[in-house]
């Protein structure tokens, strides 16, 4: 059990994922300065509307400081590392801290059929959205995380994936979420096409 500086945010960071962050609060500037100086990590956890944080989060490592402004604000890039489970919040620092333990996956490999399905669905989704985001290598041991990081699935679904410790269940659920995302985009584009033809948005034909 170790103590970790925490940065609660309304987003989910997956292992291997890289995201930009704008740091402006003095307490979190202190946290990031410390991480940059020591090469340490902080914990990024999904914050809820009532100020609470989710139990499962991701260690984040600062890999680039893009800009430090005159007033101390900074723009950085972080990369998701290992997951952690928050056991209890602690005090004593200006920023939020907590005692955490690692979260390890079960010995339950993903179903190859789900791996293929998820990869194909992502390809269809990227093509339909006309996105140039590359598809990760299915042979990568972190294929599920790399794939999930490339699609906006919504924070609730992303937190669900983050908390799953079975690679088999995680890949199956990711394929389901990609199916939903693809179907939603298809409906959106069909509505847009109909509107462009007649100036009106009419309901889609009901399912048989």
Choose among 122, 123, 107: nearest CA to 153.
122
| pTM (predicted TM-score) | 0.89
Instruction: Output the six-digit token pair for 93.
Output: 């620092």
Average pLDDT of the residues in 150-173: 97
Q: Which CATH number fits domain 2-102: 3.40.1210.10, 2.30.130.40, 3.30.450.40, 2.60.120.620?
A: 2.30.130.40
Structure tokens at 101: 């333990």
CA 39-29-158 angle, 5° bins: 75
The answer, yes or no, to whether residue 197 has pLDDT greater than 70, is: no
Which residues, listed in sequence order, are joined to residue 80 by a DSSP beta bridge? 60
Mean pLDDT of the chain: 92
pLDDT digits (tens, 9 = 90+) for 33-64: 999 999 999 999 999 877 789 999 999 999 99
How far apart CA 19 and CA 107 sit, in angstroms, is 29
Question: Average of pLDDT values for 64-79?
Answer: 96
- Predicted local distance difference test score (pLDDT) of residue 15: 98
φ, ψ dihedrals at 176, nearest 5°: -65, -45
pLDDT class for 189, splitting at 50, 70, 90? confident
The per-residue pLDDT for range 101-110, each reduced to its tens digit, is 999 999 999 9
Q: Which two tokens stand for residue 58?
A: 């991701």
State the SS3 of 74-88: EEEEEEEEEEEEEEE
- Domain ranges in the chain are 2-102, 112-198
State residue 50's pLDDT score. Answer: 75
């Amino acid at each position: 059990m170790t103590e970790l500086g925490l940065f609660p945010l309304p987003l989910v960071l997956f292992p291997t994922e890289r995201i930009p962050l704008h740091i402006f609060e003095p307490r979190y500037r202190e946290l990031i300065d410390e991480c940059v100086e020591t090469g340490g990590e902080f914990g990024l956890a999904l914050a809820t509307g009532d100020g609470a944080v989710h139990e499962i989060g991701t260690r984040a490592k600062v890999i680039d400081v893009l800009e430090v402004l005159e007033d101390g604000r900074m723009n950085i890039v972080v990369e998701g590392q290992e997951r952690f489970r928050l056991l209890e919040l602690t005090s004593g620092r200006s920023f939020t801290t907590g005692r955490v333990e690692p979260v390890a996956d079960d010995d339950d490999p993903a179903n190859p059929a789900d791996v293929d399905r998820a990869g194909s669905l992502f390809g269809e989704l990227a093509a339909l959205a006309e996105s140039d985001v590359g598809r990760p290598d299915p042979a990568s041991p972190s294929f599920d995380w790399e794939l999930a990081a490339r699609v906006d699935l919504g924070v609730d679904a992303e937190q669900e994936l983050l908390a799953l410790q079975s690679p088999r269940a995680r890949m199956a659920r990711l394929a389901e979420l990609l199916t939903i995302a693809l179907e939603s985009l298809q409906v959106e584009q069909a509505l847009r096409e109909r509107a462009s033809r007649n100036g009106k948005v009419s309901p889609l034909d009901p399912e048989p």
